[in-house]
Amino acid sequence: MSQPDNPAPKAVYVKSYGCQMNVYDSQRMADVMGAEGYREVATPEEADLILLNTCHIRERAAEKVYSELGRIRIIKDEARAAGRKVMVGVAGCVAQAEGEEIVRRAKVVDLVVGPQSYHRLPDLVARAGVSPGVVDTEFPVEDKFKALPATPEAKTRSRGLTAFVTVQEGCDKFCTFCVVPYTRGAEVSRPVAEVLAEVEKLAAAGVREVTLLGQNVNAYHGAGPDGSEWTLARLLYRLAEVPGIARLRYTTSHPREMTDDLVEAHGDLPALMPYLHLPVQSGSSAVLKRMNRKHTRDDYLRLVDRIRAARPDIALSSDFIVGFPGETDADFEDTMDLVRRVGFAAAYTFAYSARPGTPGAEMDGHLEEPLKTTRLHALQALVTAQQHAFQESLVGQTVDVLFEKAGRKPGQVVGRSPYLSPVQVIGPSSVIGSIVPVRITGAKTNSLDGVLAADDHMSAVHAAE
Ligand code: SAM
Ligand code: SF4
């Protein structure tokens, strides 16, 4: 692909909104354009191609994209005035949902590409170079992942010691509030061999921790090398054998898909980290029914008991929607009660936002915004208190930390605990890349302070001398 008005090498900037699957897709988009000679840059001002990888989950997310496009129009105009051509693409779920509407509403946009078509970016960029306003929001029959170029090893190394790998896409659950089944399409699992090859490449480039991603990751049922369908648990056991991979995580799970083998894996697979994001959405069975969640409050509480029986130290996080149509004070109190019973290490809380085209938007009993906000604040206060309590509970404990990078302060190194909290210690940079025991000495809301357990031991020895 060539564009004579700009000399090579060209630069691409990708901005990611929303979930971790978008973070992964953004990296892969940069890889696709990297194979075409584009280097990745950190600001839109430096780029010849600006891609916004959007999220459509709540209304304001789409509006944010349109206001960002307003800022990008200025960058594009300034570049044009300086004799430089800049192309702008909208990718992701807003692209899928709004398609042509985006090019109508924002003239700055040259191309629109849905989440299932971004392997075709080079062709779309070439077409948009000739005639702006190209839209590709198909769900193609070819396997996007097979068509994507491999990430160069140097690129993987530059992205650090932890990596995401999408293993499952799409959703067949049709929760009545959610746009995902419409924007991401039907549930599809990548074959085991493809996932394994990607994880082996990551490990060879120094990655120590892999998070498997999917809108319903625990519904994974990829084709195994033997022709049988593998569950997520079986895949996790296999990936744990890849040399170099020390830690595995997966997200996001649906409570209905927490099969016995997966619960058991939490008990006996040391590489599987004791942190699980398990969205419940509401603590009221009546609301859950209207949400079409296909689980009740008691199902969820029983599931939590099963998981904790398998792995007593597991930390749980969740998503909650408050103010779903018809939610009464008693329903909301059921949510508060469920939170108190479970005790979460973290939680994402959202006020219900009606999404056009979803059954929830058509339901009776929409709540006034102020009531949603009041409930949201009450729930947030409760989960924040629980988050503090969880962090505090780690003080005095020794936990394994995977050190990832230097900290902001001199001599500081930072990593993550098994429970995903960032941990900072004063220590040598040689620990980066290793998993090292750390005694936690202090807790903040979003991070922990600690000392290397080895240093602790040495100071105990010196004290005894
Ligand atoms: N697949 C996951 C699941 O089943 O829970 C998560 C999907 S979604 C990307 C992430 C979260 O956004 C949801 O768990 C839900 O709490 C929230 N969400 C989705 N649609 C929403 C809506 N219409 N209004 C408010 N929050 C919403
Ligand atoms: Fe959306 Fe429900 Fe599917 Fe999660 S399970 S992606 S909330 S429809």
| E runs forming strands in 69-138 | 87-91, 111-113, 134-136
Q: CA-to-CA distance for 328 and 325, rounded, in angstroms?
A: 9
Q: What pLDDT, on a 0 to 100 scale, did the predictor assign at position 168?
A: 94
Q: CA-to-CA distance for 273 and 84, rounded, in angstroms?
A: 48
Q: Which backbone phi and psi does 170 adopt, to 5 degrees?
A: 80, 175
Q: What pLDDT, on a 0 to 100 scale, did the predictor assign at position 140?
A: 75
- Angstrom CA distances, 395 to 56, 138, 307, stand at 39, 51, 24
Pocket lining: 177 vs ligand 1, CB cutoff 6 Å = yes
Pocket lining: 22 vs ligand 1, CB cutoff 6 Å = no
Report the percent of the chain where pLDDT is more than 70: 96
Pocket lining: 355 vs ligand 1, CB cutoff 6 Å = yes
Q: CA-to-CA distance for 342 and 364, rounded, in angstroms?
A: 31
DSSP 29: H
Pocket lining: 325 vs ligand 1, CB cutoff 6 Å = no
Q: Please tell me the distance between residue 251's alpha carbon and the centre of ligand 1 in angstroms.
A: 13
Q: Please tell me the distance between residue 177's alpha carbon and the centre of ligand 1 in angstroms.
A: 8
Each residue's pLDDT tens digit, 199-245: 999 999 999 999 999 999 999 999 999 899 999 999 999 999 999 99
Q: CA-to-CA distance for 164 and 66, rounded, in angstroms?
A: 28
User: Is the pLDDT score of 5 beyond 60?
Assistant: no
Mean pLDDT of the chain, nearest integer: 93
Are the C-beta atoms of residues 137 and 95 closer than 8 Å to each other?
Answer: yes
Q: Please tell me the distance between residue 372's alpha carbon and the centre of ligand 2 in angstroms.
A: 21
Pocket lining: 178 vs ligand 1, CB cutoff 6 Å = yes
Pocket lining: 297 vs ligand 2, CB cutoff 6 Å = no
C-alpha 366: how far from chain center: 29
Each residue's pLDDT tens digit, 271-298: 999 999 999 999 999 999 999 999 999 9
Q: What pLDDT, on a 0 to 100 scale, did the predictor assign at position 62?
A: 78
Report the percent of the chain where pLDDT is more than 90: 84
Average pLDDT over residues 140-157: 84
Q: What pLDDT, on a 0 to 100 scale, did the predictor assign at position 424?
A: 97
Lowest average pLDDT, out of 47-61, 94-108, 340-354, 444-458, goes to: 444-458
Q: Please tell me the distance between residue 324's alpha carbon and the centre of ligand 2 in angstroms.
A: 15
User: Is the pLDDT score of 459 beyond 90?
Assistant: no
Confidence at 185, pLDDT banded by 50, 70, 90: confident
The ligand whose atoms approach the alpha carbon of 320 most closely is 1
Q: CA-to-CA distance for 106 and 103, rounded, in angstroms?
A: 5
Are the C-beta atoms of residues 344 and 393 closer than 8 Å to each other?
Answer: no
Pocket lining: 90 vs ligand 1, CB cutoff 6 Å = no
Q: What pLDDT, on a 0 to 100 scale, did the predictor assign at position 450?
A: 97
Pocket lining: 55 vs ligand 1, CB cutoff 6 Å = no
Average pLDDT over residues 54-83: 90
Confidence at 141, pLDDT banded by 50, 70, 90: low
Pocket lining: 319 vs ligand 1, CB cutoff 6 Å = yes
Identify the CA nearest to 316 among candidates 300, 293, 336. 300
Pocket lining: 76 vs ligand 1, CB cutoff 6 Å = no
Which class for 42: exposed (0-12), middle (13-18), buried (19 or more C-beta within 10 A)? exposed
Q: What pLDDT, on a 0 to 100 scale, did the predictor assign at position 139?
A: 81
Average pLDDT over residues 330-340: 98
Q: What pLDDT, on a 0 to 100 scale, did the predictor assign at position 123?
A: 94
3-state secondary structure of 221: strand
3-state secondary structure of 168: strand
Confidence at 77, pLDDT banded by 50, 70, 90: very high
Q: Which atom of ligand 1 is nearest to the CA of 171?
A: 1
Confidence at 3, pLDDT banded by 50, 70, 90: very low
Residue owning the nearest CA to atom 2 of ligand 2: 175
Q: CA-to-CA distance for 246 and 224, rounded, in angstroms?
A: 22
Residue owning the nearest CA to atom 12 of ligand 1: 57
- Token pair recorded at residue 303: 């599931």
